[in-house]
Structure 1
C-alpha cells in the first residue's frame, strides 16, 4: 500500500512507490512577485533563487528520484513570460539536471506545458495515478490532482489522493488574544460521493475509500484558505464535503485535531 509522509518542517512530502521515490510539492507559484506587481502594483523583492534552491535541496536531502508538482508551478494565469518565464526556466533546468519532473496542471499553469513540455512530464487537470502496482489495472498507488476542477473518478482506486490548490492555513490564537496564521496539512478518509461530480456516471463503487492529503502551499507568499475560521469558503469544488472528518497538522508535525475544531 502506498504511503505519503510529510517532510518534517517543510511543505513537501515523500512517497515511496516501489521502484521510485517521489518528492511531492504543491503551489510553487514561480514568478509570484512579478504577478503581484502586474496585478496589484505590489513591489516585493524576488525570492526566485530561494524557491529554486529549496526545491533542489529537498530533492537531495530526501534522496528523491522524481519531483511531482501538484499544480500551480507558475503564478500568473496565462502563458508565462518575462520574469516569470525566466524563473520557471531556471527552476526547471535546475531540477531536471538532477531528477525527472512531473507537473499536474493547475489553474495557473496555462502555457507551461507548451513552453516546457520537452523537459517536464505533464498530467492533465483531472489528475492521474502514479506508482500503481503492475497488473492492478491502475488501482493502488498515489493519485495526484490539483483540485481546481472535478477530478477523474478513477482516482478513487488509488491508496491515497494528493492535491494542492487550497493552500490550507490555520489561524491560531493565544490566551491573551494574539493570533498567527500557519500553513497546514489536511488529512483524512475521503468521502467518495462528494469527491466526484454527481453527474459523472463513470464514478466507481468504492468500498475502501482512499486517504486524501491536502498539501500546504510551497510558496509562503501565496495566501490560502483559513480552514478553521467559520464562514471561510473553500476553493476546490469538492471541499470540505469530501473531507468530513479531516485533521490538521502543522509543518513541524504537530497534530491539531479535526480542522473544523482547531
Structure 2
C-alpha cells in the first residue's frame, strides 16, 4: 500500500510543480494531481535487434537489464503512474518478435494498480494497435499522441514534433527524443561521453509566430514567465545522442536549441555543469 504522506508536492497547493531527477538514474519523479509519477524517455526496446537488422552489428540483448532497472525504479519510488515520454520501442513500424516480446514481458511485470501513459515517439509506429489490448497486461495503459498532453500542471511530449498547445500551456514541459549527452575532456586529452539532463525555460521567440499557439498567455504577456523545460536523457544507454556541448552538433527536435533559454546541463549523478554551450 502506498504511503499518502509522501506526496508532499501534490499537497503543497500553490507551490510550482517539481520534476525531480533521481540521482544516478535517467528518470525523474513528479506529482501529477494526487498521483506520484515516474517519468522516463527513450526506452528503445528491441534496440539490439534493430542494430542487427539495420547495421549488421551483433550486440547481445540487454532487455533483461533494461527491465530490471525500470522495475527496480518502480519498486523504489512506488508511483501511481509511469510516464514514458516517447520511443518506448525502437522499430519505426510494427515491432518484430524480439521487440514485442521484450515489451510484453516488461508490461506483464507491472502491478495491476499502475497507470502507464505512453507518449508516442517517432519510433513507436502502431504501438497503440496492440499494447493497450494485451491480454496478460493488468496495468492500465494510455497511449497519447507525440505532440503531447497536459498531465496536471506538467506537459509531456516526445520532442520530434512541435508540442501540443495543452503541453505548452503547462508549468513544466518534459520531453525526450534528443538523448542529450556531453563530451567531457580531461587535462591530458582523454574524453568520455555522459548522458545529461537539460533544464531551463522555453524561449518565447521560437514559438510566437506559430498560429497554433495564438492566445497562449506567456507568449503574449512579456511579464509572465515561460514554462520551465526538462529535456530527459535516454533510458537506454546504448542509443547515443546529441552532444549538446560540441560545436556543429545538430539538435533533433524542431524547436531545439532555439526554443531553449537559460538552459543548463546536469550529469545523471546530479553534477551541475552550468550553461550547456560552455561545458
The TM-score, its normalising length taken from structure 2, stands at 0.87
SS class of match (1:260): helix
- Superposed CA RMSD in Å reads 1.4
Distance between the aligned counterparts of 1:243 and 1:257, measured in 2?
14
Change (3 A) 1:184 1:142: same
SS class of match (2:95): coil
Of 126, 133, 137, which aligns to 1:111?
126
The Cα offsets for residues 124-149 of structure 1, whole Å up to 9 and x where unpaired, read as: 11100112xxxxxxxxx100000001
SS class of match (1:2): coil
The Cα offsets for residues 148-195 of structure 1, whole Å up to 9 and x where unpaired, read as: 011112323211000000000000000000000000000001113314
Does 2:194 align with 1:167?
A: no
Residues 39 and 85, structure 2, Cα contact 8 Å, conserved in 1: yes
Equivalent in the alignment of 1:150: 162
SS class of match (1:162): strand
Distance between the aligned counterparts of 2:44 and 2:208, measured in 1?
26
Change (3 A) 1:248 1:149: same
Change (3 A) 1:196 1:223: farther
The TM-score, its normalising length taken from structure 1, stands at 0.93
Distance between the aligned counterparts of 1:251 and 1:19, measured in 2?
27
Residues 182 and 243, structure 2, Cα contact 8 Å, conserved in 1: yes
Query: Unpaired segments of 5 or more residues in structure 2?
Result: 1-15, 134-139, 219-223
Does 2:244 align with 1:227?
A: yes
Change (3 A) 1:90 1:153: same
Distance between the aligned counterparts of 2:259 and 2:58, measured in 1?
38
Number of residue pairs the alignment of both structures matches: 253
SS class of match (1:113): helix
Residues 95 and 101, structure 1, Cα contact 8 Å, conserved in 2: no
Distance between the aligned counterparts of 2:167 and 2:32, measured in 1?
16
Shift of 1:197: 6.6
Question: If you compute each CA radius of gyration, which structure gives the higher value, 1 or 2?
Answer: 2
Equivalent in the alignment of 1:130: 151
Residues 151 and 196, structure 1, Cα contact 8 Å, conserved in 2: no
SS class of match (1:241): coil
Of 17, 35, 43, which aligns to 1:20?
35
Distance between the aligned counterparts of 2:111 and 2:42, measured in 1?
18
Residues 197 and 267, structure 2, Cα contact 8 Å, conserved in 1: yes
Shift of 1:199: 4.2
Compare 202-211 and 145-154 and name the one that shifted more.
202-211
The Cα offsets for residues 4-31 of structure 1, whole Å up to 9 and x where unpaired, read as: 0000000000002241000000000000
